[in-house]
Structure 1
Amino acid sequence: MNPYYYVLSVNGLLFVFSLIFYFFPPKKINHLYGYRTPKSMKNDDIWQYANTFFTKQFLIYSAISLVASLVLASINPSITWQPMAILLLSIGVAVLKTEQSINKTFDDEGNRLK
């Protein structure tokens, strides 16, 4: 398989999803679409904050993932698992940063910290 097709189908698709989340964020708490963790779904304030923060992080890290994978494919055309590892790492970093930000901004009951 052409390494560029592989990168575009894996990391490119992640970037497209990040654009969809960015331009069409979820309006209400739901179980189908958006950044859904138990803490982010506690109340509407956390839901809006978490989804806004996550979509920005997701967009940044998916773009970095796409560019890094394209550079890797141009350096080494026999790539196999590396683009998928970069994809998982970028999603993991976006989720961790979002959870850290939620914990710094809200208490365990879902109230904003002062």
Structure 2
Amino acid sequence: MDLLHFLDLFFNHSFIGLLLLILGIVYKLFPPKNVNSFYGFRTGKSQKSKEVWDKANIYCAKKIIEIGIFLTILGAINLIVLPNMYSLFSIITVGPLLIWVIVKTDKHIS
């Protein structure tokens, strides 16, 4: 297997993780400045004050980056174990992991 083919397979297997990693970094670098209903970690608890809003969004960005790293590594493992099943484990785990971020962030700001 040549390097280009390997990189193509790695990207296919780790796409969701890499996407979340990039989004988490962008979210961390450009957090929402004010409480709003468009961009940011928006729950009833997080929108109660600017202080809670900032705390929730900083924490959420950190957790999204962690999930991105985890899913990228999981995708690489998936590439070795099941090379023909693109992102199988990433697709199965992304929903529960994002729900975990919401629950964990909500607990963090409580």
* TM-score range normalised by the length of the shorter chain: 0.7 to 0.9
Show CA shifts across 1:37-81 (max 9, x none).
122112211101111111111111221111112211222112254
CA distance in 2, matches of 1:92, 1:49: 18
Show CA shifts across 1:3-50 (max 9, x none).
534334322111110111111111111122111112211221110111
Please tell me whether the aligned partners of residues 3 and 78 of structure 1 are also in contact (alpha carbons under 8 angstroms). Answer: no
Show CA shifts across 1:78-113 (max 9, x none).
22542212222332222221111122xxxxxxxxxx
Bigger Cα displacement from structure 2, 77-86 vs 12-21 = 77-86
Q: What residue ranges of structure 1 are gaps of 5+ in the alignment? A: 104-114
Q: Give the letter for the 2:107 counterpart.
A: Q
Q: Which residue does the alignment assign to 1:47?
A: 53
Q: Which residue does the alignment assign to 2:32?
A: 26
Which has more helix, going by share of residues?
A: 2
Please tell me whether the aligned partners of residues 64 and 101 of structure 2 are also in contact (alpha carbons under 8 angstroms). Answer: yes
1:6-85 correspondence to structure 2 within 5 Å? 6-79=12-85, 81-85=88-92
Q: What residue ranges of structure 2 are gaps of 5+ in the alignment? A: 1-7
Could you tell me the TM-score, scaled by structure 2's length? 0.79
Aligned pairs, number = 102
Higher relative contact order (CA 8 A, sep 6+): 2
Q: Which residue does the alignment assign to 2:97?
A: 90
Runs in 1 of length 4+ with deviation above 4 angstroms?
Answer: none
Q: Give the letter for the 1:27 counterpart.
A: K
CA distance in 1, matches of 2:67, 2:47: 23
Cα RMSD for the two superposed structures: 1.8
Change beyond 3 A, Cα 1:30–1:10:
same
Q: Give the letter for the 2:99 counterpart.
A: G
Please tell me whether the aligned partners of residues 53 and 98 of structure 1 are also in contact (alpha carbons under 8 angstroms). Answer: yes
